[in-house]
Amino acid sequence: TMGNWLVNHWFSAAVLAAWLGINIFLFTYYFLFFDQDERYFYTRAILGSALAWARASAKCLNFNSMLILLPVCRNLLSFLRGTCSCCRRTLRKQLDHNLTFHKLVAYTLALLTAVHTIAHLFNLERYNQSQQATGGSLPAVLSKMHLQGSKWLNPIHSNQTTVEYVAFTTIPGLTGVIITLALILMVTSSTEFIRRNYFELFWYTHHLFLVYFAGLIIHGIAGLVRGQTEQSMAEVHPYHCAEYLTRWDQNCTHHCCKEPEFGSIPAESWKWVLAPIILYVFERILRVWRAQQKVVVTKVVMHPARVLELQMQKKGFCMEVGQYIFVNCPAISPLEWHPFTLTSAPEEDFFSIHIRAAGDWTERLIDTFQLEIPRIEVDGPFGTASEDVFQYEVAMLVGAGIGVTPFASVLKSIWYKFQQADQTLKTKKIYFYWLCRDTGAFAWFNDLLASLEQKMAESGKADFLTYRLFLTGWDTSIANNVALHFDTATDTVTGLRHKTIFGRPMWNVEFAAVAAAHPRSVVGVFLCGPEALAKSLQKSCHQHSSLDPRKVKFYFNKENF
């Protein structure tokens, strides 16, 4: 319900509200300032309201450029998470929405860039028209002032100048074009599809942020948009003297007969972005330092369907369930760092990841490890621990596709805690649902389930874990094989004791069964999977929770891995 969402996400909601409020305030304040301030009376005579649109969007661009780097300072976030470890988990968990906020700010930058660019195209067109205008109109008179030395207001001083010429020969024009192109490339190459399938393209293109910030700092230096100087305002105030400009007379003795003087708006983007850039530089230095620490690969396992398991040790490495690390292999590429979810449990004396072939880098890594063990660098771990799983007496875990990876860590850890009679573990029963198109890429996960199944049976706790595998895509050969071996003790697809179910789960049936088996329990429902599945699970949680506080309750938790 909305109430629950607000309780869990009040911090995110507060941050969003503050961010939106500051954007609206900056835009409105500077729009009104440039639309009404007396110093820009003459500038507005040429440009009209496009001046206010350009300047207001520029302020918001500076503000959002200041924010864009903060959510990707991973070590800063880890530090914040550590310092607020005493505060509630909900607060720490909100820090995991860092990339969502990063994307939001990026899309806002793209929108503001469009507004800023369009406004300046109007401005250039109007500057050009005023320069070419003949007669005694105010814009025409103001545009001829460059003939008297440094008094110019209109940056276009020739009738032959085109908008394209200004865009590619002036500092603001050229840097504007370059940073807009950099932004377009960064936004388009960071779509889900490209990140999943062509991570290298995303990774390298994203480093155009260096070009973006360099261009942003230089962009306003030339000061093409000008306003009247304070001194000139005191001498010839536009409200009294503007009319004298259009009917100039050689013998004029009035105090207004002195020409107004103009000065540039000082460049100020650097003031906004300096602090985050320094923070980010420290972040990168820290990453380089952490990466230098030695990682020992203790075991390499090649699973079916080209899945590589690496077991590693690193001095001082301390993990929690549900966290992830960044991995670099200098032999393949000294610059590329790829994120992987940890599949080991904190109780184990190593940490592990499973890498499936999905893209050039992973393919080359798997090939390299089949020949030799190259040097590996690790940064992390990052992310909030998924410790909530241990707080419920009954847990329903749902993993879809690659989303099954974090549950390897969770299931192992629960088993260790269960064996060691850990007092923090409240869990008495786990239901695990695994949905995937084909089990080929996850044969390693099968092996894990099989070994857990065996260990539990040996210690007389076979009913601690119930799992159901749903194969959502299959071909006729599998179907025929299943028909032949229907009465065998183990499953034909996975070799496990629990049968694979073909098709998608009927969540109403599953929830009803859990509710019937645990009529007085609080059940935690955990998902690592797509948004559509989250919606249907949330709906089922709501439908199957009893209004009676003494009866079954389902609580939904979506993990952001």
Do 374 and 433 belong to one domain? no
Amino acid (1-letter code) at residue 388: D
C-alpha distances in angstroms, 385 versus 279, 320, 393, 406, 412? 25, 5, 18, 11, 14
Do 377 and 426 belong to one domain? no
pLDDT band of 492, cuts 50, 70, 90: very low
Q: Which helix (H) or strand (E) holds 368?
A: helix 360-371
Edge to edge, what strands does the sheet with 307-314 contain? 295-303, 307-314, 351-356
- Is a pLDDT exceeding 50 seen at residue 485? no
Cα angle vertex 120, ends 118, 126, to 5°?
110
- Is a pLDDT exceeding 60 seen at residue 355? yes
- Higher-scoring residue by pLDDT: 390, 67: 67
pLDDT computed for residue 86 by the predictor: 59
Within-domain flag for 146: yes
pLDDT computed for residue 7 by the predictor: 58
What value does the mean pLDDT take over residues 56-71? 97
pTM value surpassing 0.85? no
Do 148 and 95 belong to one domain? yes
272: Cα within 13 Å, side-chain hemisphere: 19
pLDDT computed for residue 6 by the predictor: 62
Strands 377-382, 394-400: pairing is: unpaired
Q: Which helix (H) or strand (E) holds 55?
A: helix 50-68
Do 369 and 420 belong to one domain? no
For position 350, which CATH number holds? 2.40.30.10
pLDDT computed for residue 82 by the predictor: 73
pLDDT computed for residue 402 by the predictor: 76
Q: What is the DSSP letter of 342?
A: B
Distance, in Å, from the CA atom of 356 to the CA atom of 305, rounded to the nearest integer, reads: 8
Domain end residue (candidates: 263, 286, 309): 286
- The predicted-structure confidence for 163-199, as pLDDT tens digits, reads as follows 888 888 899 999 999 999 999 999 999 998 898 788 8
Amino acid (1-letter code) at residue 82: G
pLDDT computed for residue 113 by the predictor: 98
- Higher-scoring residue by pLDDT: 535, 557: 535
Distance, in Å, from the CA atom of 177 to the CA atom of 12, rounded to the nearest integer, reads: 34
pLDDT computed for residue 484 by the predictor: 42
What value does the mean pLDDT take over residues 374-385? 88
- Is a pLDDT exceeding 60 seen at residue 141? yes
Q: What are the tokens at 429?
A: 């029963």
Number of structural domains (the chain) is 3
pLDDT computed for residue 559 by the predictor: 66
306's torsion region: left (phi>0), alpha (psi -120 to 50) or beta? Answer: left
- Is a pLDDT exceeding 70 seen at residue 466? yes
- Is a pLDDT exceeding 80 seen at residue 87? no
Q: How far apart are the first and last CA of the chain?
A: 23
Cα 218 → chain centroid: 27
Within-domain flag for 394: yes
pLDDT band of 315, cuts 50, 70, 90: very high
Within-domain flag for 198: no
pLDDT band of 507, cuts 50, 70, 90: very high
- Name the β-bridge partners of 533: none
pLDDT computed for residue 403 by the predictor: 80
What value does the mean pLDDT take over residues 393-420? 87
pLDDT computed for residue 550 by the predictor: 85
What value does the mean pLDDT take over residues 354-367? 91
Amino acid (1-letter code) at residue 310: L
DSSP characters for 258-269? SPP-EEEPPP-H
pLDDT computed for residue 474 by the predictor: 60
What value does the mean pLDDT take over residues 473-490? 50
Distance, in Å, from the CA atom of 483 to the CA atom of 500, rounded to the nearest integer, reads: 12
C-beta atoms surrounding 238 within 10 Å: 21
Do 359 and 417 belong to one domain? no
- Is a pLDDT exceeding 90 seen at residue 454? no
342: Cα within 13 Å, side-chain hemisphere: 32
Helices (H), 373-430: 405-419
Within-domain flag for 305: yes
For position 548, which CATH number holds? 3.40.50.80
Within-domain flag for 143: yes
Within-domain flag for 491: yes
**Average pLDDT in the chain:** 87
Do 418 and 527 belong to one domain? yes
**Pick from 345, 434, 429: nearest CA to 392:** 429
pLDDT band of 90, cuts 50, 70, 90: low
DSSP characters for 413-480? HHHHHHHTT-TT----EEEEEEEES-SGGGHHHHHHHHHHHHHHHHTT-GGGEEEEEEESS--HHHHH
- Is a pLDDT exceeding 80 seen at residue 31? yes
Distance, in Å, from the CA atom of 544 to the CA atom of 542, rounded to the nearest integer, reads: 6
Among 184-198, 227-241, 497-511, where is mean pLDDT lowest? Answer: 497-511
- Higher-scoring residue by pLDDT: 214, 303: 214
* % of the chain exceeding 70 in pLDDT: 91
pLDDT computed for residue 354 by the predictor: 93
Do 391 and 540 belong to one domain? yes
pLDDT band of 89, cuts 50, 70, 90: low
Do 363 and 439 belong to one domain? no
Within-domain flag for 342: yes
- Is a pLDDT exceeding 80 seen at residue 92? no
Q: What are the tokens at 534?
A: 């989250």
Q: What are the tokens at 387?
A: 């410790």
Do 529 and 543 belong to one domain? yes
State the residue range of the domain holding 241: 16-170+222-248+255-286
pLDDT computed for residue 486 by the predictor: 45
C-beta atoms surrounding 470 within 10 Å: 16
What value does the mean pLDDT take over residues 462-473? 85
Q: What is the DSSP letter of 403?
A: G
Within-domain flag for 97: yes
**Pick from 288, 321, 484, 336: nearest CA to 397:** 321
- Is a pLDDT exceeding 50 seen at residue 471? yes
Do 240 and 142 belong to one domain? yes
What value does the mean pLDDT take over residues 486-496? 49
Our CA dihedral for 149, 151, 154, 155, rounded to 10 degrees, sits at: 60
- Find out whether 425 and 390 touch, Cβ atoms under 8 Å: yes
Do 452 and 348 belong to one domain? no
- Find out whether 295 and 376 touch, Cβ atoms under 8 Å: yes
Q: What is the DSSP letter of 415?
A: H
- Is a pLDDT exceeding 80 seen at residue 428? yes
Edge to edge, what strands does the sheet with 500-502 contain? 500-502, 465-471, 429-436, 394-400, 522-528, 553-558
- The predicted-structure confidence for 97-130, as pLDDT tens digits, reads as follows 888 999 999 999 999 999 999 999 999 999 999 9
DSSP characters for 72-139? G-HHHHHHHHHHTTTS-HHHHHHGGGHHHHHHHHHHHHHHHHHHHHHHHHHHHHHHHHHHH--SS-HH
What value does the mean pLDDT take over residues 445-453? 85
Owner of token pair 């708006």: 265
Do 267 and 376 belong to one domain? no
